[in-house]
A = this chain, B = another copy of it.
Amino acid sequence: MTQDAAGASKFSRRVAIAGTQHLGGAIHLLRVRFPEIAASALPGQFVEVKASEGSDPLLPRPFSVNQVDAHRQTFAFLYEALGCSTRQMAQKAAGDELLVTGPLGKPYPLEPDVCDEVVFVAGGLGIASFLFAAQTLKERGDPRPVRLLYGARSAESIVLTGEFERLGVRCEVATDDGSLGEKGLVTGLLERYLASDPRNPALYVCGPAPMLKAAAGIAEARGARCFLSLETYMGCGMGVCVGCTIKMKTGDGPDDFEYQRACVDGPVVDAARLIW
């Protein structure tokens, strides 16, 4: 890091909720006004959000930046109201406050030299980070084809596909129960896609751990580049507690590894280096 002592490149404060939107099932979109984060966040980065005023739950939770408004004044994140923080979030309304810190973490490597085809592979809420990525590619005028392979439990949990299509992303959907798209897992879509021998693709994968692992295995077998966005349990989210460590290869020997921090050395990592 070469940043200078005085320059703030992360921001943390209480901000008001600008708006909320229920997308289906327990999935909600929450927009906050935070111009500094909206202006500097990159796709794949996340924010830490504390919804409770009290100390239970105590720690903020990580949420991927889902979209940024055109004037970069507000940004939104997607959440599923299942756990203690997210259920509290769902009781909040516009005007209520949240404590937000960001932008955090390493973004997706979306530079043109990485690949010739961009493939987002999303499982469930793993979709959260990709809309911003697609928006960014579009804004940059990136000419490469962008594809989304998206799996979820059922039609109810498939969200935002309209937005992806509007951005010119080719979407393929699979659901466990077949209620939307193909019946089956997203890894099925991925197998078929890679079997079609695409030209120098890179996979960007986000979703539950078993799906990440399966996707990484498929990518390795097919020799495709693969970046995983990990949803590791986090303490601080900004690199200081060393509590979110993942095992990363530093060579080929059995002891050639080091513990890296998922929050700053990730959450996006090269699948080839991750030791499960």
**Which residues on A are within 8 Å of B, measured CB to CB?**
52-57, 84, 87, 91-93, 96
Oligomer copy total: 2
Q: Write out the residue numbers on chain B whose beta carbons fall within 8 Å of the beta carbon of A93.
A: 91
B-side contacts of A53, CB under 8 Å:
84, 87
Which residues of the other chain, B, contact A57 by a CB distance below 8 angstroms? 54
**Main secondary structure on chain A at its contact with chain B?**
loop
Q: How far is the CA of A87 from the CA of B55 in the complex (A)?
A: 15
C-alpha spacing A56/B55, complex, angstroms: 6
A56 neighbours in B (Cβ, 8 Å): 52, 54-56
Would A91 and B87 count as touching, CB distance under 8 A?
no
A-B contacts, 14 listed (Cβ < 8 Å): A52-B54, A52-B56, A53-B84, A53-B87, A54-B54, A54-B56, A54-B57, A54-B84, A55-B56, A56-B56, A91-B91, A91-B92, A91-B93, A91-B96
Residue of chain B at shortest CB distance from A57: B54
CB distance from A30 to the nearest CB of B (A): 15
Q: In the complex, A27 Cα to B21 Cα: how many Å?
A: 28
Contact residues in B for A91 (Cβ distance below 8 Å): 91-93, 96
Q: Least Cβ distance of A88 to chain B in Å? A: 8
Complex: A55 Cα to B52 Cα, angstroms: 12
Whole-angstrom distance between the alpha carbons of A85 and B6 in the complex? Answer: 40
Q: Closest 10 interchain pairs by CB?
A: A56-B56, A54-B56, A55-B56, A91-B91, A54-B84, A54-B57, A91-B92, A53-B84, A53-B87, A91-B96
Add 5 more A-B contacts to A91-B92, A91-B93 (CB < 8 A). A52-B56, A53-B84, A55-B56, A56-B56, A91-B96
A62 smallest CB distance to B (angstroms): 19
Which chain B positions have C-beta within 8 A of A87? 53
Which residues from chain B contact A96 at a C-beta distance below 8 Å? 91
- Measured in the bound complex, the distance between the Cα atoms of B96 and A55 in whole Å is 21
Q: Which residue of B lies closest to A84 (CB)?
A: B54
- Give the chain B neighbours of A52 by CB distance below 8 A: 54, 56
Which residues does chain B contribute within 8 Å of A84, judged by CB atoms?
A: 53-54
- Bound complex: CA of A54 vs CA of B91, how far in Å? 14
CB distance from A96 to the nearest CB of B (A): 7
CB distance from A92 to the nearest CB of B (A): 7
